[in-house]
Structure 1
């Protein structure tokens, strides 16, 4: 019995000694190395200007008078407003072409040309970093929502159609590469929503008994249009 007690005491002392030496060693390893190896780094969301270009994929509308998909270019300004949030304003322009329709012509001769048109988009909104005020291996993903205006600044055409200036709203996602110094890189995918409105002439039948549109409930129609852009960001006022 005494031998068993002695062995138990010695085992307990040995275990305590191992724990007392090993725990500080583990703590030293965590404190001394893990933060240095962390993929996360603090990042101050300040002010920046981005020069960007990309592609505007305009979705075909009911009457097929929308601009064709085309390249676009623009500028964006961001300012941090606290925590992971920032506000932005953005302007982009996309030169393209669209179909010019004459509603009184037969279906075979209804399209009489494809004039040039430039779509102008100006919007602002809120951008929210998904990694807070930190980057992951210098990368910061974010999501954003906004609203603004879209216009082609054109008058009514020969078919009485006018795109005009419209309210739009959007949501999107961003991915930024943020080195410690110098310019930054960003990629954006933004889905814009705006409404098309068609004149009465589009519902009038031509000589071949066809019309551009047949259901008057389609006089107004919303469409989504994706814009994919890549740009170079320059921090300012740091």
Structure 2
């Protein structure tokens, strides 16, 4: 799964670069809306709502206890609704089908603490606001964006592992940058990089003993995690 995530990440970077280069070729004069295509790099955007299907990677950051899930492929679905000319509401659902997570036994020390791994799906749900930095226009077919959101993440697991820990569910806060690549049609390319923060809740056993997994003051750390995705959007209601 780690190799698959690395492959998807490389494909995302390559696809975004090719998309920007490919869509950056000037269209015929009649294809632009509202501007003289010879003199202006700006173009009016289409649509007031959009549905996006994408693929990407979820890369959890390293947590103090070392029990965070490892990176994996994430499938995403997204809905966007225009509120004002530059400001959009969005809701996103991301599903990582199977992420591997280390299991730690706090009763042991050093390498003996490693008690194997387990796999669970990871589901991320967010709602937030997305700002087009070029207003309701694209610049040379590209619309740079900034977004922020709140939500929750869960692995759907209700059972504690050998060390008395389970990931469960957590509240999330996120922010990031994105790009909308226009095509002159209702179908467009969308890519974004998001930094998602959530809190881990460790059992007291992680801070017990002479060589604890974490210090007593770090049983609830916030950790930053990365989501990178690229998708195809269908815009509606011009």
Instruction: Verify the 8 A CA contact 2:186 2:236 in the aligned structure 1.
Output: no
The one-character-per-residue Cα deviations of 1:154-206 (angstroms, maximum 9, x if unpaired) are 1221211121211101001111111111410011010001111110111222x
Instruction: Verify the 8 A CA contact 1:45 1:133 in the aligned structure 2.
Output: no
Q: Does 1:228 align with 2:236?
A: no
Structure 2 CA distance for aligned equivalents of residues 68 and 38 of structure 1: 46
Aligned to 1:144: 147
Structure 2 CA distance for aligned equivalents of residues 140 and 228 of structure 1: 17
Structure 2 CA distance for aligned equivalents of residues 204 and 34 of structure 1: 70
Aligned to 1:202: 206
Higher-Rg member (1/2): 1
Instruction: Verify the 8 A CA contact 1:186 1:230 in the aligned structure 2.
Output: yes
Structure 2 CA distance for aligned equivalents of residues 229 and 81 of structure 1: 23
Structure 1 CA distance for aligned equivalents of residues 112 and 91 of structure 2: 43
Q: 1:35 to 1:71 in 2, by over 3 A?
A: closer
Q: CA deviation at 1:134?
A: 0.8
Aligned to 2:101: 98
Aligned residues: 202
Q: 1:138 to 1:35 in 2, by over 3 A?
A: closer
Unaligned runs of 5+ in 2: 1-34
The one-character-per-residue Cα deviations of 1:40-98 (angstroms, maximum 9, x if unpaired) are 11114411111111112211100000001122111010011121111000000122101
Q: Secondary structure at the match of 1:109?
A: helix
Q: Does 1:125 align with 2:158?
A: no
Q: Secondary structure at the match of 2:221?
A: strand
Structure 1 CA distance for aligned equivalents of residues 198 and 60 of structure 2: 11
Structure 1 CA distance for aligned equivalents of residues 36 and 188 of structure 2: 27
Alignment of 1:18-167 (within 5 A): 36-94=38-96, 95-155=98-158, 156-167=160-171
Unaligned runs of 5+ in 1: 1-32
Structure 2 CA distance for aligned equivalents of residues 45 and 186 of structure 1: 14
Q: Secondary structure at the match of 2:83?
A: strand
TM-score by length of 1: 0.80
